[in-house]
Amino acid sequence: MEKQRTMKKRWVLDQAVRHTIEETWAVLTNGALTPNPALFLARVADLARSNTFLWAEAGLSVQEHATRVVPVGQSLSRSLVLATVAADIFVGYTTLGERAKWLPSLVKPRDWELQHQRSANRVLETAASLGGALIKACQFASSRPDLLPAVYIRTLAPLQDRMPPRSWSEIEKAITRELGQRPTDVFAQIEREPVAAASIAQVHRARLHDGREVAVKVQYPDIETLVATDLAVLEQIVKAIARLVPTIQLQPIVDYLQETLPLELDFRHEAESMTALRTALAHRSDALIPAYIPELSTERLLVMDYINGIKITDREALEQAGISPHEVAQLLNDLYAEQLLHLGILHADPHPGNLRVQPGPRLVLLDHGLTVPLAPSLVEALRKMVQALNRGDFDGLTRALTEAGLKFNEEVDLTSLLQLVGVLLGNDQASEPDETAGDVDAVGVGMQIGKSVGTIPTDLLLVGRALGLLDGITKQLDPSMDTLEIVAHYAE
């Protein structure tokens, strides 16, 4: 019975669309035997992209499929929003592609750029509104110029460290539930306004009764459910896109989230990782990692030392404090080169919101949900990769990537290989977009890499993401810096 009702709704919708197209044809032809095909196709494309059509079509689709994947209630409403936005973006690209196919003279590079921007804005607005795994997906995607055009990279960048916080009443209840005491009983003082808010948690500054300054990281109460819902829906959307447009492969984003989000949701893992990196870098006075307080920390609550500093990309504040941006860039690259090529442990989420600078300079590393050990085989492969890059050895570079776990689908050419290495080792293709090309080349780069390369291992993706973020920060601090020269001695 339900299936019959759904089929009837879809028939009514299809009839309405056909009727509208017939009316459009009549208006555009004005009774003539030779209509204006350009105007007609544009009108039909506008119809296909209309919100009314998209809401109706997406609603029917979600009604048929979403309840098989996620529970009803809030999860279903999130599914509906996600499906609608995905449909909007997909139909936008499809109709523009049809215009380009049948009437190429009417579609300019600027049209693609506008479509990219419109779609990126929709993604940004949706992620900022819904939060959850969507923020993590956008953060990861915004560091992958091999997957998305440069417009997306620029538009989604604010999601790296600027998120709206939850209310104090919600946070207070979460702390009470985790510790069995109200925050005012545990802390001598705690600020109600957070010092930072992210996708899965926010941080409040507090002081213990012994006078110790601490940061209190509180996980959002409903985040596990939201993350599970988002991942399920995202996977369905990505699979649908892959079936409809095989050249677009976004599965690496979902794979990455499925492997990394469980780590980030368990603050006990973060506490252990923070301690491991703190121990590994104990010999360096220019690196600071907070120590956590075990008796006040749980799976969903993490209390640690509060360490202040200047945001690493705030050049003006750095210079006012007498700190050289050039020296900060040198320290940044040296510190991460040692982690990658010598210590075998990596703070894999070095976006600007997680890095602070003190005079010296000294670098403060925050948020260790993605601090991970690196397999000795990967460390050795990364060393060989740097050595090969340093001497311009094409064959050595290919061997090093293979040793790192990369599988090539076909014989790779030099251009594709260098583009891939650029993605993995921080050569930010999106930093200087060609405004006249409309980012079509960026899409082509991603597709070419996708043809040549199979699945990229998660640990290598983490390394690539970290280095891409580091490269972006370095370009802001000192665009002329030769990072390869700085890191090369760790590969010897």
CB of 213 closer than 8 Å to CB of 207: yes
Helix (H) or strand (E) holding 356: strand 355-358
What confidence score (pLDDT) does residue 453 get? Answer: 52
Of 349, 428, 471, 478, the catalytic one is: 349
What confidence score (pLDDT) does residue 472 get? Answer: 81
Plot region of 359 (φ>0 → left; ψ -120 to 50 → alpha; else → beta): beta
Examine residue 285 and state whether it is found in any structural domain, yes or no: no
| Residue 478 annotated as catalytic | no
Examine residue 185 and state whether it is found in any structural domain, yes or no: no
Task: Say what the alpha-carbon torsion angle 385, 388, 390, 393 is, to the nearest 10 degrees.
Answer: -150
CA gyration radius for the chain? Answer: 25
Examine residue 273 and state whether it is found in any structural domain, yes or no: no
Of 425, 416, 435, give the one whose Cα is nearest residue 468: 425
Place of tokens 């049209």: 111
What confidence score (pLDDT) does residue 124 get? Answer: 87
What confidence score (pLDDT) does residue 60 get? Answer: 40
Examine residue 480 and state whether it is found in any structural domain, yes or no: no
What confidence score (pLDDT) does residue 416 get? Answer: 54
Q: Pairing state of beta strands 310-311 and 301-305?
A: unpaired
pLDDT, averaged per 10 consecutive residues of the chain (492 residues), comes to 50 47 47 47 48 42 40 58 80 82 83 89 84 76 69 80 84 97 96 90 96 97 84 80 68 78 90 97 97 97 97 94 97 96 94 92 95 95 90 84 76 55 48 36 43 66 83 88 87 84
| Full 3-state SS string of 70-131 | CCCCHHHHHHHHHHHHHHHHHHHHHHHHHHHHHCHHHCCHHHHHHHHHHHHHHHHHHHHHHC
What confidence score (pLDDT) does residue 409 get? Answer: 59
Q: How many domains does the chain have?
A: 1
CB of 140 closer than 8 Å to CB of 171: no
pTM attached to this predicted model? 0.71
In whole angstroms, give the CA distance from residue 367 to residue 273: 10
What confidence score (pLDDT) does residue 146 get? Answer: 59
Phi, psi dihedral angles at 202 (to 5 degrees): -135, 160
In whole angstroms, give the CA distance from residue 236 to residue 62: 11
Examine residue 157 and state whether it is found in any structural domain, yes or no: yes
Examine residue 169 and state whether it is found in any structural domain, yes or no: no
Identify the domain containing residue 100 by its residue range. 2-163+225-262
Examine residue 434 and state whether it is found in any structural domain, yes or no: no
Examine residue 195 and state whether it is found in any structural domain, yes or no: no
